[in-house]
Amino acid sequence: MNFDTFGFHPRIAAGIAAAGYTSPTPIQNQAIPSVMQGSDLMGLAQTGTGKTAAFVLPILHKLLQGRQGGVRALIMAPTRELAEQTHEAIQALGSQTNLKSVSIYGGVGMQRQVNLLKHADIIVACPGRLLDHIRRQTVILSRVEMLVLDEADQMFDMGFLPDIRKILSYLPKANRQTLMFSATMPSQIRRLAEEILNNQVRVQVGNEAPADTVSHAFYPVAQHLKTALLLELLGNTGTEAVLIFTRTKHRAKQLGEKLAKAGFRSASLQGNLSQSRRLDAMNGFKSGKYQVLVATDIAARGIDVSNVSHVINYDMPSTPETYVHRIGRTGRATRHGEAFTLITGEDRQMVQAIHRAIGANVEQRTLKGFNYQASTPAVNRQNMSQTAQPQPAARQRTYRAAPQAAGRKNTGRQNRGDAKGAFAWVSAK
Ligand code: AMP
């Protein structure tokens, strides 16, 4: 199937070609025909599935049809990063149109946004700042004919539902088409969907099974050796982008600093950062300035970096859905990604829950040459090969040589770029 079947306006078709998209993703195939027909839609899809284009393309098409002037489409997003990325997708896919999009979020000056709002056809906004503009009457929403709530579950998690309800009260009700996208379906989101969607069409992709372009593995390790094992894993990994998840902001910050000390080009992304440092971390990760980005789940929402080669769960996520969501950050489009999870004795239940959720057992691995018996953590990458060498007796007791790794020595830094060299890379699905 290709994009011709949807009957997009030639200017939109030209934008699709300019973006280099040749065939629609499953969520696009499922959602676009209904949205083009004017139906309200509930899309259960995670980031990485192509959900943004699934709503952006029909919006652009529809806005080219009617009378232009005023804000006619409003897209609500939970984070600045997601708002910015969606705005960029609109600019790319709408590059052959004269439609104007603006991204609206807090932490930056109002006046520039006020000026841009005067000429906007499409707004991509975080709820808080949009409400500010509504209260100051610097935005008029009475012509909105398409509304999208993107990552609705995340907006709910972040406490935005009251703001969203307020914003809804400023929008026209008649003739408005509403689309909701969510990675999960908690009851509050289900209720909101029932309230604001009329005769909704429901589409769902990839919510239970992880993207099949991702291989994953669990690495059992003692809590105090997590950083040492992570350093060892990173030392043997190719130089593409690595996204690491931690449970808390504090742990993300600490780990980012430890990795930088150990010689990695790393940054951390967590809620406490100033806007300029967030942008530096995001853009630096995108451009390759940082090879490693450490983030919490909330901070990482909306990260759209297509070259993420590895997702590493430094801490086990708290739900199987979050696991699937996290590893959806790698293996995008046709690329192949690897997802590693460091697991401790406390994670046993979650391991079982993930197996149930994905319908398969994730292979457990030990890293050849790593000293699982060490009592103190080794955190200095410069002396990793020394600190991580097991004692001969321990090697016999503890280590299981992975087939690919047999006969090869883990030489830490030397092995960078030879991702398959020192330990077995898992292809279990
Ligand atoms: P999303 O799930 O919307 O965040 O999209 C994930 C990534 O897939 C983005 O980098 C998009 O540019 C890309 N993408 C979306 N649709 C397609 C497509 N049909 N062909 C190739 N890449 C796509």
Q: What is the mean pLDDT of residues 257-261?
A: 94
| 40-54, 60-74, 99-113, 209-223, range with the lowest pLDDT | 209-223
Question: 383, 118, 339: which is closest to 212 by C-alpha?
Answer: 339
User: Which residues in 86-176 belong to E strands, given as ranges?
Assistant: 101-104, 122-125, 146-149
Report the pLDDT value the prediction gives residue 147, as an integer from 0 to 100: 98
On the question of pLDDT at 1 being above 80, the answer is no
243 Cβ contact partners less than 8 Å away, ≥ 6 residues apart: 285, 292, 293, 295, 300, 303, 305, 308, 310, 311, 312, 329, 330
Strand order in the sheet with 73-76: 101-104, 122-125, 73-76, 146-149, 177-182, 41-44, 201-204
388 by Cβ neighbours in 10 Å (0-12 / 13-18 / 19+) ranks as buried
Question: Does 412 contact ligand 1 (Cβ within 6 A)?
Answer: no
- Split at pLDDT 50, 70, 90, the class of 333 is low
Verify that 175 and 104 share a domain, yes or no. yes
Question: Does 101 contact ligand 1 (Cβ within 6 A)?
Answer: no
Which two tokens mark 135? 């209260």
Question: Does 82 contact ligand 1 (Cβ within 6 A)?
Answer: no
On the question of pLDDT at 275 being above 60, the answer is yes
More confident residue, 140 or 276: 140
* Helix, strand, or coil (residue 99): coil
Verify that 262 and 147 share a domain, yes or no. no
Protein residue whose Cα sits closest to atom 19 of ligand 1: 24
Q: Of 204, 238, 253, which residue constitutes the final position of a domain?
A: 204
Q: Are 201 and 39 in contact (CB under 8 A)?
A: yes
More confident residue, 409 or 296: 296
Q: What are 190-231's pLDDT values in tens digits?
A: 899 999 999 999 998 864 445 566 788 999 999 999 999 999
Say if pTM beats, i.e. exceeds, 0.95.
no
User: Is 191 part of a structural domain of the chain?
Assistant: yes
Our separate counts of H helices and E strands in the chain read: 17, 14
User: Is 427 part of a structural domain of the chain?
Assistant: no
Tell me how far apart the alpha carbons of residues 129 and 106 are, in angstroms, rounded to a whole number: 5
- β-pairing verdict for 266-269 and 363-364: unpaired
Protein residue whose Cα sits closest to atom 14 of ligand 1: 50
Q: What are 100-155's pLDDT values in tens digits?
A: 999 999 999 999 999 999 999 999 999 999 999 999 999 999 999 999 999 998 89
Residue 108's DSSP bridge partners are none
On the question of pLDDT at 424 being above 50, the answer is no
Q: Give the atom of ligand 1 at the shortest distance from the alpha carbon of 48.
A: 2
Verify that 192 and 104 share a domain, yes or no. yes
Protein residue whose Cα sits closest to atom 21 of ligand 1: 21
Question: Does 24 contact ligand 1 (Cβ within 6 A)?
Answer: yes
Q: Of 135, 170, 204, which residue constitutes the final position of a domain?
A: 204
> Degrees (nearest 5) of the Cα angle 392, 396, 399?
105
Question: Does 332 contact ligand 1 (Cβ within 6 A)?
Answer: yes
Residue 222 domain boundaries: 214-420
On the question of pLDDT at 293 being above 80, the answer is yes
Verify that 9 and 138 share a domain, yes or no. yes
Report the pLDDT value the prediction gives residue 149, as an integer from 0 to 100: 98
Rg (alpha carbons) of the chain, rounded to whole number: 23
* Helix, strand, or coil (residue 8): coil
Question: Does 49 contact ligand 1 (Cβ within 6 A)?
Answer: yes
- Split at pLDDT 50, 70, 90, the class of 239 is low
Report the pLDDT value the prediction gives residue 406, as an integer from 0 to 100: 27
Verify that 151 and 230 share a domain, yes or no. no
On the question of pLDDT at 255 being above 70, the answer is yes
Verify that 31 and 68 share a domain, yes or no. yes
DSSP 8-state class, residue 412: G
Protein residue whose Cα sits closest to atom 6 of ligand 1: 48
* Helix, strand, or coil (residue 256): helix
Verify that 164 and 226 share a domain, yes or no. no
Tell me how far apart the alpha carbons of residues 206 and 148 are, in angstroms, rounded to a whole number: 20
Q: Give me the percent of the chain exceeding a pLDDT of 90.
A: 56
More confident residue, 282 or 149: 149
Q: 360 CA distance to ligand 1 centroid (A)?
A: 26
Q: 48 CA distance to ligand 1 centroid (A)?
A: 6
Q: Are 64 and 97 in contact (CB under 8 A)?
A: yes
Verify that 78 and 112 share a domain, yes or no. yes
Q: Are 333 and 306 in contact (CB under 8 A)?
A: yes
Count structural domains, the chain.
Answer: 2
More confident residue, 297 or 8: 8
Q: 49 CA distance to ligand 1 centroid (A)?
A: 7
> Degrees (nearest 5) of the Cα angle 212, 226, 336?
20
Q: Give the atom of ligand 1 at the shortest distance from the alpha carbon of 302.
A: 4
Residue 186, domain CATH = 3.40.50.300
Q: Are 377 and 383 in contact (CB under 8 A)?
A: no
